[in-house]
Amino acid sequence: MTAMRKFSFHEALNRHPEITDDPVSVRSLMEHFKIAPSVAQLLRRMGPFNGYEDGFRFENDFAITFEQGEDFLNVLTDAVVDGVVERAIGLYIGKLEGIDLNPIPGLETRIPDEVLDFVYGRLETELLARIADMFTNPMGSDYGRCGGMAFAGYDFYLAGIPIDTTITSPPAEGPLGDYIYDRLLDSLRLNIGTFLDWKVDLKLRGHLNLVAKEALAAAIGTVVFGPIGAAILAYIAAQTDIFGFPSGEEILLDSSKREWAKLKEVLDQQAAWPLGLVKDGWAPWKDHQVLAIGYTDDATGQSLSIWDNENGASEDTLVLDFGGGELTTSGAYTNVKGIFRERYSVRRPPESLGP
């Protein structure tokens, strides 16, 4: 078997400018990176992951079969959907529970539970229908196996198993193709909930605001009468924006800022990490998963070095701008509205998948 490419302490330390010890010892590095006492493991953990050497030699150009489309939809379990629905509706119910309809100090008049239940039901029906629309047709999308390639690529790297450079076409079948496909399903099981949460925030927040407001008004004539009903109607009439939620773009911007801080911490400890890119489109199948392999955060700006499996064994730069009312990115990634550090669990590929 071909040996894994050689690393050097110079390469590793050059990637970690935060390590300022002079001189630096292997023991201190072992303690810093919290790994087993193996120099080979230490150097792999420190990096760098090099897309030109450590990435697959083929592009993410996998057709999606009907059977695979069914696999994708099966990942969207009731538990995942229920969790997304609960989180989204919980924001509205929490806001309504905090409204005091009585202007007299010391006398609290809360929106009745019957109204809250009515609003909840309307939002639940609408959300379930919209989520079903999002996932109607994974066939023909350009989703391919991005999560599988990102996960598998880092699996090979961490295991010290070299990539077979003779495989230059996407292996739709066979041991390597099956492994990448299994890892694709793993990446979806671990992260589809986050993709869907963010997609709901981005594409449905304004629509859900209207649905919730209309349901609140409708509940007055359905379940509430008398002074309480009149107080709710007066409150609705006096509010330009009952809920006061930020726009979907602003929500993803704030979430991405938090994820950026977490991702930098991970990349200080790891050579790479899978990254979710939420794009400005309706279908989650059009979102993307790549491998973040480094970052810049200084006076020159903020950016990520990535191995993008759509481009084979190469590297790209994702330039980030958090300064406006929404996340903006440059180059080939201009439609990215959110980034997040994915959940990833390492798996050791079979040795037979090496060259």
Encoded amino acid at 179, one letter: Y
CA atoms of 91 and 89, how far apart (whole Å): 5
Q: Would you say 346 and 151 are in contact if contact means Cβ atoms under 8 Å apart? A: no
Residue 221: both structure tokens together: 């004539």
Residue-level pLDDT, tens digit, the chain, 355 residues: 445 567 788 888 888 888 888 788 888 888 888 876 688 888 889 989 999 999 999 999 887 777 777 888 888 888 999 999 999 999 999 998 987 766 545 545 778 888 899 999 999 999 999 988 887 666 555 557 999 999 999 999 999 899 999 999 999 889 999 999 999 999 999 999 999 999 999 999 999 999 998 898 888 767 665 676 777 777 777 777 788 899 999 999 999 999 999 999 999 999 999 999 999 887 777 899 999 999 999 988 899 999 998 888 899 999 999 998 999 998 667 789 999 999 999 999 998 998 8
How far does CA 181 lie from the centroid of its chain? Answer: 19
Answer for the pair 337, 287: CB distance below 8 angstroms, yes or no: no
Task: Fill in the amino acid letter for 116.
Answer: L
Residues 6+ apart with CB under 8 A from 149: 56, 60, 180, 183, 184, 309
Residue 103: which H helix or E strand, with range?
A: none
Q: Is the link from the previous residue into 23 a cis peptide, with omega within 30 of 0?
A: yes
